[in-house]
Amino acid sequence: MTPDPISRPISPPRVRFAPSPTGQLHVGNARTALFNWLLARGSGGTFVLRIEDTDAERSTPESERAIVEDLRWLGLDWDEGADKGGDRGPYRQSERTHIYRAHAVELLSREQAYRCFCPAEQLELDRYAALREGRPPKYVGRCRDLPPGEARARAEGGEPAVIRFRVPETRDIVFHDLVRGEVRFSTDVIGDPVLVRSDGSPAYNYAVVIDDALMAITHVIRGEDHISNTPRQLLLYEAFGWPPPAFAHVSLVLGPDHAVLSKRHGATSVAEFRARGVLPEALANYLALLGWSPGDDQELLPIDELARRFRLEDVGRSAGVFDLEKLAWANRHYLKAAAPERLTRLAVPFLQREGWIAEPGAPVTAFLAGVIPVAAASVDRLEQVPARLRFLFDYSAARAIEDAGVRAEAQAARGVISALAAELAGSPPMIDRETFRAVVARVRERTGQKGKLLLHPIRLALTGEPEGLELDVGVPAIERGAALGDAAGLRRIPGAAERAAAFDRELGRVSA
Ligand code: GLU
């Protein structure tokens, strides 16, 4: 059997993302969703979100909600889905049991499926025996030839039964995968798969075929881990007389050690990257580049432009190694491009977590909008913004001087620091770069110091840190923050004069 996907009307495409709501959205699955979305949006197609919740024990509504939220956060939208409806629903497998049952009855009546009464313990023993004898551990076919009438009577009498598909013997199944090329399997290794379990719930390989067919899916784009399921699914299409969709199995996302990306590599879920302050457009753009390239050496492009350029045929076969440094590079690009108000809104929770601000009112928000974008321009992720702004919200002269290096340098430059404190006492705040530079010039006159020997002690005294934002920006920020006083929602920020005086005093104390 060689289904030819090209001969079927596959344009405009109907694609689907079919997550099992059993946990967080893994970045590998997010990339699968994205590739489906890119194909649909780039070609006037339809994107369907189907929830595969047949595993009642592991599926939860919370996980479904979280997956939907993460997909939306990434910028993906769908045309039909569990939360949205559509002409080919329901879109949650747990609501489709009647459909699976009806189709199983059809296969039973054509003897393409049969009831199997083998107890689980028996199947386990069969498996061990096969493994011991070096045979593929597939179902031995004990119930294959039970007379259908007798089997029905047993099932109706209450004996637990599964429904198995009758796999045709000794056949080659060949299909053309849009990513992997020709794929060939022999049915010899495929045991008759369970379609419907004894509790009436459908197995994945069965439900997925019924759903993809009835939802008129034209392209199944999914992870490579499903490639060995595809022959079983193709046999089911054949049994129903349905044309199969085109298949595109994309490589899995790997960690740096080339093992499938998992918890032991660190963050794996979309939610974790979001919590660390990766912007959605950065993550989506980066994921699109894992196994595909928009060409022209241009990699950072808005998602709509990626969709315009996307072609399944250009998706590579080799595995995508998740590269945190490249994600950071993409994120830095988008952090620099983001509107200041948006960056501020996104960074505020990270500052709140430090206890530096509460719910900021309008003056505090305006103040933050002046400093957060500057801080965000030099970080990989928003979670690093607090470290860049510690000088502002968490200044302590005493703590700064506890550091031996800072203390030694400040003691050696005591003249500059005392002159700074004297210069600032009673003078107006340095609200901009010019006033700050004027003060620096006067301290230079008083002390005769210049360059690093002048500026570095000033940095230590005013920020408490040996490095950080440019002083031209940082010092006016300190003064503006201090001018807010105890404005609603802000921890009090000491001004430059207060800082220089405190630093000088602390130096005197430790030197005494
Ligand atoms: N629910 C399956 C999964 O999450 C979907 C597989 C498929 O796309 O066919 O792996």
Burial readout 292-316 (b: 16 or more C-beta within 10 A, e: otherwise): bebeeeebbbebeebbebbebeebe
> CB-based contacts of 381: which residues, under 8 Å, 6+ apart?
276, 277, 278, 328, 331
CA distances to 64, 221, 232 from 209, rounded to whole Å, are: 21, 14, 9
> Which of the four CATH numbers 3.30.930.10, 3.40.50.620, 3.40.50.2300, 3.40.50.300 does domain 97-250 have?
3.40.50.620
Tell me, yes or no, if 263 is annotated catalytic: yes
Whether residue 381 contacts residue 331, with contact meaning beta carbons closer than 8 Å, is answered with yes
Query: So what's the pLDDT on residue 10?
Result: 66
What percent of the chain has a predicted confidence (pLDDT) above 70?
A: 98
CATH superfamily for 263-334 is Glutamyl-trna Synthetase; Domain 2 (1.10.1160.10)
Angle at 49 between CA 43 and CA 52, to 5 degrees: 140
- Name the catalytic one among 84, 263, 326, 336: 263
Q: Provide φ and ψ at 375, rounded to 5°.
A: -65, -40
Q: What is the mean pLDDT of residues 365-384?
A: 96
Query: So what's the pLDDT on residue 136?
Result: 85
Angle at 251 between CA 17 and CA 81, to 5 degrees: 0
Cα(32) to centroid(ligand 1), Å: 10
Query: So what's the pLDDT on residue 171?
Result: 83
Sign of CA dihedral 58, 64, 69, 71: positive
| pTM across the whole model | 0.92
Q: What is the mean pLDDT of residues 67-77?
A: 98
Ligand 1 pocket check: which of 226, 234, 252 to mutate, most ligand atoms within 8 Å of Cβ?
226
State the amino acid at position 248 in one-letter form. Answer: A
Cα 185 from Cα 358, distance rounded (Å)? 61
Cα 348 from Cα 366, distance rounded (Å)? 12
Task: State pLDDT tens for residues 227-279.
Answer: 999 999 999 999 999 999 999 999 999 998 999 999 998 889 999 999 999 99
Ligand 1 pocket, CB under 6 A: 18-20, 52, 208, 222, 226
CA torsion angle for 424, 429, 430, 435 (degrees, to 10)? Answer: -80
Instruction: Choose among 120, 115, 118: nearest CA to 105.
Output: 115
Average per-residue pLDDT for the chain: 94
State the amino acid at position 58 in one-letter form. Answer: R
Q: Which tokens in the block code for residue 424? A: 């600032």
Which DSSP letter does residue 9 get? Answer: -
Instruction: Choose among 390, 489, 372, 477: nearest CA to 429.
Output: 477
CA distances to 35, 36, 179, 303 from 311, rounded to whole Å, are: 9, 11, 11, 14
Query: So what's the pLDDT on residue 49?
Result: 98
Query: So what's the pLDDT on residue 7?
Result: 40
Residue nearest to atom 6 of ligand 1 (CA): 18
> CB-based contacts of 402: which residues, under 8 Å, 6+ apart?
none
> H/E element holding 436?
helix 433-447
Query: So what's the pLDDT on residue 462?
Result: 98
Query: Is the pLDDT score of 8 beyond 60?
Result: no
Between β-strands 162-165 and 113-116, what pairing exists: parallel, antiparallel or unpaired? antiparallel
Whether residue 271 contacts residue 25, with contact meaning beta carbons closer than 8 Å, is answered with yes
Instruction: Give the range among 107-116, 234-243, 301-310, 480-489 with minimum mean pLDDT.
Output: 480-489
Cα(161) to centroid(ligand 1), Å: 26
The separation between CA 193 and the C-alpha centre of its own chain, rounded to angstroms, equals 33
Ligand 1 pocket check: which of 222, 229, 249, 250 to mutate, most ligand atoms within 8 Å of Cβ?
222
Which residue is associated with the tokens 């321009």? 377
Radius of gyration of the chain measured on its C-alpha atoms: 32
Determine the straight-line distance between the first and last CA of the chain, rounded to whole angstroms: 91
Cα(210) to centroid(ligand 1), Å: 13
CA distances to 131, 186, 389 from 193, rounded to whole Å, are: 18, 15, 59
Cα 208 from Cα 230, distance rounded (Å)? 10
Instruction: Choose among 15, 20, 35: nearest CA to 307.
Output: 35
Instruction: Report the nearest atom of ligand 1 relative to the CA of 212.
Output: 9
Query: So what's the pLDDT on residue 9?
Result: 53
Cα(249) to centroid(ligand 1), Å: 11
More confident residue, 32 or 318: 32
Domain ranges of the chain: 97-250, 263-334, 339-512
Cα 189 from Cα 114, distance rounded (Å)? 19
pLDDT confidence band for 190 (50 / 70 / 90): confident
pLDDT confidence band for 5 (50 / 70 / 90): very low
